[in-house]
Amino acid sequence: MTDEPQDALDDSIAEIREAVRRLCAGFPGSYWQRLDRERTYPTEFVEALGASGFLSILIPEVYGGSGLGLEAAIAVLEEIHASGCNGGACHAQIYTMGTLLRHGSPEQKMRYLPKLADGSLRLQAFGVTEPTSGTDTTRIGTFARRSGDHYYVSGQKIWISRAEHSDLLVLLVRTTALADVDKPSDGMTVLLVDLRDAVGNGLSIRPIRTMLNHATTELFFDELPVPVENRIGDEGRGFRYILDSMNAERILIASECIGDGRFFVDRASVYARERSVFGRPIGMNQGVQFPIARAHIAVAAAAEMVRKAAKMFDAGTACGTEANMAKLLASEASWQAADMCVQTHGGFGFAEEYDIERKFRETRLYQVAPISTNLILSHVATHALGLPKSF
């Protein structure tokens, strides 16, 4: 039997994909190459996405958004990356919605969501990782001390992308010391920090030079005041709230990997058809054909896992394991495709003008962030297979 609602969603997603492709056509490889050389934030690209409504795709229509689900959002980011662009400059504005939409108060939603939807506010920063805890989120040390109607935050965060290009920060802190809780995941709280007031008032931001993602920073908090009304949900339950953003983040970044994989397969296929050596297209050689075909198969298979995880998230079903598996499969498929694409192009794969080397560097990140492959394997081993924890 035909599922009419799903058919309608599929039609809408097809239209979204086409609209994203049209938008991305205005930001060719030369645009991204210049930004990469200058280590500059893609302001024009982000503004164009916001003006087209793609960054507010998860925000309900009552607040001025599109009111669609993660299944539509993954289509946006996949097409951005398949077009040779990069969504890392703004993807957090989509996935941080998981915490605010599901656990924010009605007053918070009314205060922030319409401005996020119309682009007058940017929510692109997600403050979780710390230098001494890494991805062991339960060991964070940044602490928020409550006094009256404010929390006062002290501590440090690292690898926080887009902090200099965002108005708001979703920040995970401890409000009860780790030694004083029954479970390591207890005692953490989510605060929504207004960065426009915070910088210079207890918050300092230090950029970190990296080989990609040139908007990466380190944050230092020194008794930063945050109004209690900016707390999302109940005090001490923040770890549970942040999981909604984390699962969305992993699924959405997996979709970026699918887009990268498609980009590499498409570029390699075109080059293999057109490049002639020894009087014949190199694509006639099975030694060239087979790696391209394998990469295509790996990307297509991973895309199905990403879509499954997105459907589960939209349905409100527990999807932590599926989100992790989608991210692992997609990141490995994109890296396989990247390596294949460079090999297919030979020396030209290292030339800036072909855009392969830039995308090669960008997609390598996803073996590490937002969660490393080894930690995903540990999660699946313990949560899906019942094996004993190794840490």
| Residue where the block lists tokens 């440090």 | 156
Beta bridge mates, 191: 171, 231
For position 247, what pLDDT does the model report? 92
pLDDT at 212: 83
Instruction: Tell whether pTM > 0.85.
Output: yes
The values of phi and psi at residue 147, to 5°, are: -145, 110
pLDDT digits (tens, 9 = 90+) for 192-219: 999 999 999 999 999 999 988 888 999 9
Torsion over CA: 128, 132, 137, 142 (sign):
negative
Domains in the chain and their CATH numbers? 4-118 (1.10.540.10), 123-236 (2.40.110.10), 240-384 (1.20.140.10)
Q: What is the pLDDT of residue 388?
A: 96
SS3 316: coil
Return d(Cα 221, Cα 365) in angstroms, integer: 27
Six-digit token pair at 39?
Answer: 């280590």
Residue with tokens 């990356």: 81
Distance between CA atoms of 203 and 221, rounded to whole angstroms? 5
Better pLDDT: 1 or 361: 361
Q: Which one is predicted more confidently, 119 or 261?
A: 261
The contacts of residue 99 (CB under 8 Å, 6+ apart) are 170, 190, 232, 241, 242, 244, 245
| Per-residue pLDDT reduced to its tens digit, 153-193 | 999 999 999 999 999 999 999 999 999 999 999 999 999 99
Residue labelled with tokens 């398949």: 82
Name which of 358, 342, 351 is nearest 39 in CA terms.
358
- Pick from 240, 219, 212, 114: which is nearest to 163 by CA? 219
3-state class (DSSP) for residue 180: helix
**With bands split at pLDDT 50, 70 and 90, how would you rate the model's confidence at 8?**
confident
Q: What pLDDT score does 2 carry? A: 40
